[in-house]
Amino acid sequence: MNKLSFMALAALVAGCCCNTDDVKPFGVTKFGEKASVYTLKSPDGLTLEVTDFGGRLVRCWAPGRDGKMSDVTLGWNTVEEYETLGFSMGTLIGRYGNRIANGKFTLDGKEWQIPVNETNPVPRFCNLHSGPVGWDAKVWKASEYDGKRLVLTLVSPDGDMGFPGTVTMKVTYTVLPQNIWRIEYEATTDKPTVLNPTHHSYWNLAGEASGSVLRQLLKVNADKYTQTDAGLIPTKDAPVEGTGFDFRKARPIGMMASWMASQESLKPMDNWYDHNFVLNGKCGEMKLAAEMSDPESGRVLEIWTTEPCMQMYGAQNMTTKLPAKEKGKTLCQFAGVALETQHYPDSPNRPDFPTTVLRPGETFRSTTEYCFKTR
C-alpha cells in the first residue's frame, strides 16, 4: 500500500469511528445485511444508541432532576424483534411518513400506484409509511461518525415501493450540549417525486417499561388538528378548542379519555390519538411543536421543528404484552407516545396542504430537535 492509500484509509477510519467500543454489531436482517449500533454522547449526559438498521433510536438515556439516568424511549434488543414485532418502533420513516389514501396520487398529470398495506380494519385502505418495505427495513450507510455526530445515507432507487425517482437521502444525528438531539434531513431526486420523512420514536419520560404515559403531561403548540374519515385520511382542519385534542396548555395525556371514548366519529380510530396537529408558526421556520414532561422524575422533553405538522400516536394498540428491552419486563397499552414531526398525511392528494413534491435541482431540508431538560 502506498503512502497516499494508507493516509486515505486512515482518514476513513478516523471519520467513521472514534472508538471501537462505541460501535457494536446489532445483528443481521432477513435480507442478509449486517447492522451495527452507534453510541452518541452529549457532554451533559444525554446518551443515544442508534442503529443503522432503519436509523432506529434503540436507547435514549436522559437524566432526571435527581441526576438519575433512565432510558426514555421504547425499543428492542435485536434486529429480529424490530422486523417481527412492528409498530415502526424508533425508526426513520420514508419515503413518505403517514398515510396516502388508496395508495394513489397524481403527479404532473400521471397517476402513481403504491402499495396498500393498511387494510385492517377494512375501512383503512391506504398506504402507511411508504409500504411493507420502507426505509425502516434498510441498513443505511454510516458515512461519518465521531461519537457526537452520525451521518446516515441511503439511495432509494426509482420505483422503490412504487414511488418515482431515485432519491438520495442524508440524515444527520447530532448530540449537542444541554442534552439536545438534532436530526437534519437532506434529500435530492432525479425525477419529480413526493417526500415526507419523519422519525417514529416512542417516548416515556418515566423510563421504558415503567407503565403507561397517561399521567405524564403534554403540551402541543397547535390551535388546530386534522379531522379524518374512518380510514384516518384527512377531511378538514378543525379547532382543538373544546375537544380532546386541546393540548394548548399542559395536561395529562389521559385526562380526556372519557371524552375520546364518547365520540362516535373516533370509534374506527380506536377512540384514541392517531391524528395530525397543525403547528402554530411558519413551515420551514424552527418552532416549538410540543413539550412532554413527567412530574415524578422531573424530566422534560421539548420538540422543535421546521415541519408544519406533528402526528400524535398514543400506542393504543400495544396490547399484546410486547417484550421490553429490560429482561423480564413487558410493554403495555399506552406504554409510550409517538410525536412525529412531518407534513400533513395524504398531502399528494391535497393541493390545499403544504406541498411534499420534490423536483430535480431542488434540495429537501428539514430539522427537528429533541431537547431534554429537568424541572
Residue 340 annotated to the active site: yes
Q: Where would I find the H helices in the chain?
A: 3-16, 79-85, 257-262
Give the H or E element holding residue 184. strand 180-189
Place of cell 424508533: 90
Amino acid at 361: G
| Set 291, 340, 343, 369: catalytic member | 340
What does the DSSP 8-state code read for residue 117?
Answer: -
- Does residue 10 sit in helix, strand or coil? helix
- The residue whose grid cell reads 422486523 is 83
Q: d(Cα 289, Cα 239) in Å, to the nearest integer?
A: 16
* Lookup result for grid cell 392517531: 274
The answer to whether residues 17 and 23 touch, using CB atoms and an 8 Å cutoff, is: yes
Q: Strands, E, within 29-118: which ranges?
A: 34-41, 47-51, 57-63, 69-71, 91-93, 99-101, 104-107, 110-113
Nearest CA among 187, 194, 148 for reference residue 171: 187
Q: Is 326 designated active site?
A: no
Q: Under DSSP, is residue 80 helix (H, G, I), strand (E, B) or coil? A: helix
CA 92/CA 76 separation, integer angstroms: 15
Burial of 219 (0-12, 13-18, 19+ CB in 10 A): middle
List the catalytic residue out of 49, 118, 199, 200: 200
User: Which residue numbers are catalytic?
Assistant: 200, 340
